[in-house]
Chains A and B, each alone.
Chain A
Amino acid sequence: MALERQGIPTATFITDAFSAYARGLARMQNMVALPEVVIPHPIAGRSNDELRDKVRRVYDEVKAALTIT
Chain B
Amino acid sequence: MAASKPQARAARPFEVDNTLEHIFDFFDDCYDKGWTDGLPVFPPTQRALERMLACTDRARDEVIGVIPPLNGAATVEKIAINAIMAGCRPEYLPVIITAIEAMLQPDYNLYGRQTTTHPGAHLMIVHGPVRQELDVNCGAGVFGHGWRANATLGRALRLILINLGGNKPGVTDMATHGHPGKFTYTMGEDEENSPWPPFHVERGLAREVSAVTMLCAEAPHNINDQKSATPQLYLGSAASAMCHLGANGLYRCGLKSEQMLVIPAESAQWLHENGWSKQDVKQYLFDSARQPVGEMRGRGGWDMSPLPKFVDVNDDNAMVPVVPSANDILIVVAGGFQRHMNFIPTAGYNLSVTRAITRKDGTPVRTLTEITS
Q: How far is the CA of A1 from the CA of B69 in the complex (A)?
A: 13
Inter-subunit contact B171/A20 (CB<8 Å):
yes
Nearest neighbor of A17 in chain B, beta-carbon distance: B174
| B71 interface residue (CB < 8 Å to A) | yes
Contacts of A8-46 to chain B: CB distance below 8 A: 18, 20-21, 24-25, 28-30
Inter-subunit contact A29/B172 (CB<8 Å):
no
**Given A1-B1, A28-B71, A28-B166, do A18 and B174 touch, yes or no (CB 8 Å)?**
yes
**Given A28-B69, A28-B166, do A5 and B2 touch, yes or no (CB 8 Å)?**
yes
| B3 interface residue (CB < 8 Å to A) | yes
Distance in Å from the Cβ of B34 to the closest Cβ of chain A?
13
Inter-subunit contact A24/B171 (CB<8 Å):
yes
Inter-subunit contact B3/A29 (CB<8 Å):
yes
Distance in Å from the Cβ of A6 to the closest Cβ of chain B?
10
| B70 interface residue (CB < 8 Å to A) | yes
Inter-subunit contact B172/A21 (CB<8 Å):
yes
B174 CB contact (under 8 Å) in A1, A2, A21? A21
Inter-subunit contact A2/B71 (CB<8 Å):
no
| B36 interface residue (CB < 8 Å to A) | no
A2 CB contact (under 8 Å) in B1, B4, B115, B172? B1
Which residues of chain A have C-beta atoms less than 8 A from B69's C-beta? Answer: 25, 28-29
Which residues of chain A have C-beta atoms less than 8 A from B174's C-beta? Answer: 18, 21
A25 CB contact (under 8 Å) in B2, B4, B115? B115
Q: How far is the CA of A2 from the CA of B2 in the complex (A)?
A: 8
* 4 nearest CB pairs, A to B: A28-B69, A2-B1, A28-B70, A25-B69
Question: Taking beta carbons and an 8 Å cutoff, which residues of A are in contact with B?
Answer: 1-2, 5, 18, 20-21, 24-25, 28-30
- A selection of 8 A-B contacts at a CB cut-off of 8 Å is A2-B1, A18-B174, A20-B171, A24-B172, A28-B69, A28-B71, A28-B172, A29-B69
Question: Taking beta carbons and an 8 Å cutoff, which residues of B are in contact with A?
Answer: 1-4, 69-71, 115, 166, 171-172, 174
